[in-house]
Amino acid sequence: MTREGVPIGPDAEFGSDPAEMVDEHFDRARAEAAIRELLLAAGEDPERDGLRETPARVARAYEELFTGLYTDPDQVLDRTFDEAHEELVLVRDIPVYSQCEHHLLPFHGMAHIGYIPNEQGRVTGLSKLARLVDLYAKRPQVQERLTSQIADALTRKLEPRGVIVVVDAEHLCMGMRGIRKAGSTTTTSAVRGIFRSSSSSRAEALSLIRGK
């Protein structure tokens, strides 16, 4: 399955980057009909009191949970400024709430982002890093791709000397069903530039991320 030549769905490689869909929008009526069908498939009565509003509610919830599909990541980082700061900038413990694209069940945890600005000291507002995490998290995702998309967007817009992104998360698809290993966490990282070429820079950033 492809969208504009980019593999999506089960054929996609972990870490591949599906095409942006910023010109499209969430089809709430279609989602509502699908949730109603799901309830019927489960043998439920979508007309009973407690469920009557549920398809509309769930559709609204998914519209919010998938907003990242319709937002341009480059716009989040449009405002950059030169601060003559060429040392590490690190934001730790940015909460992440996303959904694995395999089961549409949540995975959640923390993202940590560090970068070393370029010679001009090009930086972005700290909140923009958290906005970027949100944008990529609010899509059907895999943790590996989420991690590298954040690193690649920062690399594209800030042209920094290096970027490191670490995400620690728990996947409910591994906790509440299937293998049922609640509490196990997955760590993914994406390193670019100097953090890839210099093991000492990488080690320093990682020890700060881990609070050592």
Ligand X SMILES: Nc1nc2c(ncn2[C@@H]2O[C@H](COP(=O)(O)OP(=O)(O)OP(=O)(O)O)[C@@H](O)[C@H]2O)c(=O)[nH]1
- Residue ranges binding ligand X (CB under 6 A): 14, 100, 102, 142-144, 171, 173-174, 178-179
Answer for which of 28, 60, 92, 103 binds Zn ion (CB under 5 A) is: 103
If the CB atoms of residues 99 and 201 are measured against ligand X, the closer one turns out to be 99
Closest CA to 188 of 136, 110, 86: 110
- φ, ψ dihedrals at 191, nearest 5°: -120, 140
If the CB atoms of residues 111 and 194 are measured against ligand X, the closer one turns out to be 111
Instruction: Identify which range of 16-24, 78-86, 127-135, 168-176 contacts Zn ion by CB under 5 A.
Output: 168-176
Residue 103, annotated as binding a ligand: yes
User: 79 near 132, Cβ under 8 Å?
Assistant: no
Measured N-to-C along each axis, helices 28-41 and 54-65 cross at an angle, to the nearest 10 degrees, of 120
Match 């998290």 to its residue by tokens. Answer: 137
Task: Look at residue 143 and give the partner it binds from ligand X, Zn ion, none, a contact being a CB closer than 5 to 8 Å depending on partner kind.
Answer: ligand X
Closest CA to 167 of 185, 152, 183: 185
- CA pair distance 182, 173, nearest whole angstrom: 9
86 carries an active-site annotation: no
If the CB atoms of residues 1 and 179 are measured against ligand X, the closer one turns out to be 179
Answer for which of 12, 94, 100, 164 binds Zn ion (CB under 5 A) is: 100
Task: Please name the amino acid found at residue 112.
Answer: H
Report the nearest approach of Zn ion to the CB of residue 188 (Å). Answer: 14
CA 63 to chain CA centroid, Å, is 16
85 carries an active-site annotation: no
Give SS3 for 54.
Answer: helix
User: Which residues participate in catalysis according to the annotation?
Assistant: 100-103, 143, 171, 173
Q: Rule CB under 5 A: which residues touch Zn ion? A: 100, 102-103, 173
Residue ranges for the known binding site for Zn(2+) are 100, 103, 173
